[in-house]
């Protein structure tokens, strides 16, 4: 017996639908305050259809487009839940409409000192930007700095973020050993 589309889903049903482990969904709840499943006695989670749609969009951005958690958080903050849900559904028309509905155009993320040199709100690598070409305009040529370094600020920030990700992976692996 299948549930109606409006029925609440358990964490196991959502995890199976999204092809994710349940602990990932619990972790995402700590990182994305927009995900608010209803909790019953004993802490049992029930996800609304809107929660499932949002989770699908987050999954799509993280796994298919290579965004970081900070990048998806920034997208949610600047564009809202409907934008991420539309990305998850692959609805390009809605994505474009929601992106152009923003008052000011999306500014380039700032790069601060080398210590906090991270760019958020962009993919780690240009895996597939077909949903987001309209946000950044034409394909930007990479920055080339003259002087000490031949690596642009954006590339440096992406390399720094990758290094942080690798160090976090190493830390987690060391805990397991």
Instruction: Tell me the C-alpha distance between 92 and 127, whole Å.
Output: 17
Residue 55 has a pLDDT of 93
Per the CB < 8 A criterion, the answer to whether 75 and 168 are in contact is: no
| Closest by CA position to 55, among listed 85, 94, 21, 12 | 85
Looking at the domain that runs over 9-100, which CATH code has it been given?
A: 1.10.1660.10
For residue 170, what pLDDT band results from cuts at 50, 70 and 90? confident
Task: Give the DSSP H/E element, type plus range, for residue 10.
Answer: strand 9-10
Give dist(CA 24, CA 20) in Å, integer.
7
Over range 121-132, report the average pLDDT. Answer: 48
Exposure of 74 in the CB half-sphere (CA atoms within 13 A): 16
Helices 49-59 and 22-31, axial angle in degrees (round to 10): 90
* pLDDT at site 133: 39
Q: What is the pLDDT of residue 141?
A: 44
- Which pLDDT score is estimated for 122? 53
Task: Answer with the residue of higher pLDDT: 49 or 157.
Answer: 49
CA distance 57 to 89: 7
Task: Report domain extents, the chain.
Answer: 9-100
Q: What is the average pLDDT across 91-111?
A: 59
Q: How confident is the model at residue 34 (pLDDT cuts 50, 70, 90)?
A: very high
Across 34-45, average pLDDT: 88
Question: Does the pTM of the predicted model rise above 0.75?
Answer: no
Q: Write out pLDDT tens, residues 65-89.
A: 889 999 899 988 888 888 888 887 7
């Amino acid at each position: 017996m299948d549930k109606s589309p409006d029925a609440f889903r358990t964490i196991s049903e959502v995890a199976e639908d999204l092809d994710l482990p349940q602990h990932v969904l619990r972790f995402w709840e700590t990182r994305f305050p927009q995900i608010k499943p209803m909790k019953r006695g004993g802490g049992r989670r029930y996800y609304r259809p809107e929660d499932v749609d949002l989770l699908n969009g987050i999954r799509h951005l993280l796994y298919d487009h290579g965004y970081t958690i900070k990048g998806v958080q920034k997208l949610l903050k600047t564009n809202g839940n409907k934008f991420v849900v539309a990305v998850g559904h692959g609805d390009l028309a809605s994505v474009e409409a929601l992106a152009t509905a923003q008052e000011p155009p999306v500014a380039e993320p700032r790069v601060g000192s080398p210590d906090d040199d991270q760019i958020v709100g962009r993919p780690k690598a240009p895996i597939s930007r077909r949903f987001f070409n309209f946000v950044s305009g034409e394909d930007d040529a990479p920055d080339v700095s003259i002087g000490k370094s031949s690596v642009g600020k954006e590339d440096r920030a992406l390399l720094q973020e990758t290094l942080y990700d690798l160090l976090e992976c190493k830390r987690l692996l060391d805990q397991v050993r």
